[in-house]
Amino acid sequence: MRRLFAVELLINIAARSAVGILSATVFSLIVWWGTRVFLRLNPADLGLEIYFLTQATIIGGAATVVVVVSWWNTQSSRRVHWLSTALTLGATVFSAWLFNEIRGIETHYALSGGVLRVEVFSIRHMVSSLLIGAVVGGNIFAATLYLYRAARHNEV
């Protein structure tokens, strides 16, 4: 019986991961594009740090909506639902921002010594970094919460 539960859990995790990753990527990109049409955010006015944090909040918030729905556990209480939603929102925004910051380090090493590259702002690079960080980080965090509830409290 325990083996059947493990196979069922594995299939459930694979399906939820696929749905969570694909739909969170598409939905986050649509929401980011939609907010870009209505909000005219200029990195020169805000500063790059605040601009990146604002973009991470937009993309991470949109990814959180889909990630929470894809990892929703119907057997948990409302308190657990709200707590996992809030924690997933924080983890998703933080992972988007962190991945963008790690990927955007400006100092690289050439063959014979250090080279400081001229800072070039690329929206494509920023959005891809934020999307990868938000979608992967949010799904990993939500999957961890789901696995905890499934293993500890037998909620599938």
- Give 64-118 as a DSSP string: HHHHHHHT--TTS-HHHHHHHHHHHHHHHHHHHHHHHHHHT--EEE-SSSEEEPP
Domain that holds residue 134: 2-105+117-153
State residue 112's pLDDT score.
53
Question: For residue 105, what pLDDT is reported?
Answer: 57
pLDDT in tens, 91-120: 999 999 999 888 875 544 444 555 566 566
Whether residue 111 is contained in a domain is answered as: no
Q: Does 68 reside within a domain?
A: yes
Q: Which two tokens stand for residue 147?
A: 């696995």
Residue with more model confidence, 13 or 2: 13
Which residues in 109-119 are b (16+ Cβ under 10 Å) and which e? eeeeeeeeeee
- What is the domain count for the chain? 1
In a domain, 132, yes or no: yes
Question: Rounded to an integer, what distance in angstroms lies between the CA atom of residue 139 and that of residue 41?
Answer: 28
Asked if residue 145 is part of any domain, the answer here is yes
pTM: 0.83
Give pLDDT tens digits for 15-57.
999 999 999 999 999 999 999 888 888 777 888 888 889 999 9
> Is 112 inside a domain boundary?
no
* Residues 126-147 pLDDT 10s: 899 999 999 999 999 999 999 8
Give yes or no for a contact between 151 and 13, defined as CB atoms under 8 angstroms apart: no
Residue with more model confidence, 108 or 63: 63
